[in-house]
Structure 1
Amino acid sequence: MTQASENPTLQATAEELSEVITELEQYRERLLNDTIETAKRAKLMKAAVMAQLEPELAHIDATLAQLRQQQANLTA
């Protein structure tokens, strides 16, 4: 009986994780595209911009990996 009552919570958590993953993926893409577009307008070198952006992208990617692992654990 306890397990059955936990399933709706797990289901909601899996759904929430899915939403957060989707939003974070969209944020990552928007951040990358907006930064590159702004750099073009400011006539900055893409390599220099990417060097500054890379730590933030790495942090987002690491967070996405953790969220995907949590999601896989819930759905397994």
Structure 2
Amino acid sequence: MGILNLLLGNTKDMADTTELTSIAQTSLEELTEAIAELEEYRERLVNDTLSMAQRAKIMKTQALASLQPQLAQLDATLESLRQQQSTLTSGN
């Protein structure tokens, strides 16, 4: 249908396709950035917690156990974002 519209001089559909591609690209970039930021946050959270636990003489396993609910939530969010990223990537 796009070729027919182009031949007939109707480029509206072609512009819409370009706009959708641009939006998808922006969304993909935002997803990639969000994933990177969450991964950095997760790593910093673990490192800071372990550092504080060491100073407070708390066992590593005990410190990580207290973090587990937050880490599970972060991991679930990261997995969801990665799936969205994969869907957008395979859709292009």
Give your verdict on TM over 0.5. yes
Q: Which has the higher contact order (CA 8 A, sep 6+)?
A: 1
Q: How many residues matched? A: 76
2:82 to 64, 68, 71: 68
What's the CA shift string for 1:19-66, capped at 9, x where partnerless? 000000000000000000000000011111111101111110000000
Seq. identity, %: 53
What is the TM-score of this pair, normalised by structure 1?
0.95
The code of the aligned residue for 1:65 comes to: E
Larger Rg: 2
**TM-score, reference length from structure 2:** 0.79
In structure 1, the gaps of 5 or more residues are none
In the TM superposition, what is the alpha-carbon distance from 1:3 to its structure 2 partner? 2.0
Q: Which runs of 4+ in 1 moved over 3 A?
A: none
